[in-house]
Structure 1
């Protein structure tokens, strides 16, 4: 019997073949499904690792497995496998991009820069904004609100500079031979991405975009008169579909350990997000 918030048989059938059989040191791992269910309990409740129920095994094993598979890309492999459908693509390539800020708990600060067991960055994606210590999650989703790529930056980072990295991180595998698909048919984003240079780059890539103009851009073009050019194309009906990315953020933040960042290492926090993103695809 599957407990609340635990892996379903359908999800486990996809995940199991992608997990390592041996840890290379002392033989076989502890039961993977038990450990992943323990990780999901921790992410869902936001409780300290030491409060992990005994039915999931030692808390150190669950924490170690989460950290190790975040660093070696195992969770990303699971997400990539979950994203493959019968035709190898999401249902429709209408992509929505946005970001959200997550408050970083005081325990998330102070990660070691030297001698770290797992990959470390200069800031660990923690910065200071009006809300204090924060991390910003940049997300791209398909037309049904399913995650395609996830990127972390410090909370004070701007949205527009991360648009292309988020798009470049999209790689939807195909069932057979061939390169993964990356380029969307349509990109929907808010005014935070309404830069002329960004629009020009999207046009060069052949990506139709639905991004509203900011008030200062409209006023500047009006002041230039006929030399200001025509306004960029904008489809208000299609723009209303941008809410799917907001709904995806809400799904991620149903997990209390993701709604507030307690993890010191950015790679582990991102791995947690990727794991839940894969489960969203498998629902």
Structure 2
């Protein structure tokens, strides 16, 4: 029986080469496609692992593979590989970009969350975690990071870039500077010295741009009020909305921040598989 979260034949053909190769032992009881169907079912529907439908592999088998792929970085590698394919499909450089839009989304904790992931964001009045994204013009992430909600946006960006500093070090000199677009919750005057302490040449590779924000006077002149969409910022806001399609991401059900981050990887893996399969 198929589910809306299950892989199609075209999607399986795309992701199969990216999965780790099994050692030559006795044939497995369950295929990797069936295991992935179990992982994506839990991601989309937000059920307990033990409540997976009985026609899917046993939850212990599904969770064991998910845990191994998460710990070994396989999910991150698959997301990166699919991202490169989607960018190539859109006639963009697969690996390099000239625009990264950064944003954070505060998500409430549930009773499952551990002390590690508990923090209160006073700005958004949320007790939980922050999902930090660095996306391209397609709204797909180059970088992701989950932190306590109490961590400021500036510190989260510094940590996210520090974890991915090799990307900036490897950037070719013949590609223009990467514009890092942020909103008014970030402060480039604080970010620049902190990032230069990690990689002194980083400002030769990137530049910060604060997205424009319409003033009250400008709104009054145009006869509008309330929230006004900023086109370039809308891209990352749409990415946040994509994550909310997965019930397991609407709130934080994970005990660790690594688990929460792995679910973001899975969410965009599923989204990009659909996009690639639709175009094939």
Aligned residue pairs, count: 243
1:51 aligns to what? Answer: 51
Aligned match for 2:94, one of 89, 92, 109 = 89
On the 8 A contact 1:136/1:154 being kept in 2, the answer is yes
Aligned match for 1:140, one of 134, 142, 153 = 134
On the 8 A contact 2:46/2:248 being kept in 1, the answer is yes
TM-score (norm 2): 0.74
2:189 aligns to what? Answer: 196
Q: Aligned partners of 1:272 and 1:184: how far apart in 2?
A: 31
TM-score (norm 1): 0.73
Deviation at 1:129, TM superposition (A): 4.0
Q: 1:43 to 1:275 in 2, by over 3 A?
A: same
Question: What are the ranges of 5 or more consecutive residues in structure 1 without an aligned counterpart?
Answer: 111-122, 174-178, 215-238
Residue 35 (1) aligns with residue 41 (2) = no
2:222 aligns to what? Answer: none
Q: Aligned partners of 2:262 and 2:171: how far apart in 1?
A: 21
Q: 1:78 to 1:247 in 2, by over 3 A?
A: same
Q: Aligned partners of 1:244 and 1:168: how far apart in 2?
A: 24
On the 8 A contact 1:39/1:66 being kept in 2, the answer is yes
Map 1:182-221; keep pairs closer than 5 Å. Answer: 185-199=178-192, 204-211=203-210
Q: Aligned partners of 1:172 and 1:277: how far apart in 2?
A: 22
Aligned match for 1:149, one of 143, 154, 161 = 143
Q: 1:184 to 1:61 in 2, by over 3 A?
A: farther
Q: 1:24 to 1:163 in 2, by over 3 A?
A: farther
RMSD: 3.4
Aligned match for 1:104, one of 82, 102, 109 = 109
Spell out, residue by residue over 1:23-81, the C-alpha distance to the aligned partner (whole angstroms, 9 max, x if none).
Answer: 68876472111111111111111112222111211111111211121111110111121
Residue 251 (1) aligns with residue 242 (2) = yes
Q: Aligned partners of 1:256 and 1:129: how far apart in 2?
A: 22
Q: 1:149 to 1:184 in 2, by over 3 A?
A: farther
Spell out, residue by residue over 1:216-252, the C-alpha distance to the aligned partner (whole angstroms, 9 max, x if none).
Answer: xxxxxxxxxxxxxxxxxxxxxxx63111111101101
Spell out, residue by residue over 1:168-204, the C-alpha distance to the aligned partner (whole angstroms, 9 max, x if none).
Answer: 555899xxxxx57799621111011124132566883
State the SS of the aligned residue for 1:55: coil
Q: Aligned partners of 2:235 and 2:6: how far apart in 1?
A: 25
1:272 aligns to what? Answer: 263
Stretch of structure 1 that moved more, 14-23 or 260-269:
14-23
State the SS of the aligned residue for 2:55: helix
Question: What are the ranges of 5 or more consecutive residues in structure 2 without an aligned counterpart?
Answer: 197-201, 214-229, 276-280
On the 8 A contact 2:153/2:185 being kept in 1, the answer is yes
Q: 1:252 to 1:23 in 2, by over 3 A?
A: farther
On the 8 A contact 2:106/2:121 being kept in 1, the answer is no
Q: Aligned partners of 1:166 and 1:183: how far apart in 2?
A: 22
Spell out, residue by residue over 1:102-132, the C-alpha distance to the aligned partner (whole angstroms, 9 max, x if none).
Answer: 111102236xxxxxxxxxxxx2x33234556
State the SS of the aligned residue for 2:68: helix
On the 8 A contact 2:34/2:57 being kept in 1, the answer is yes
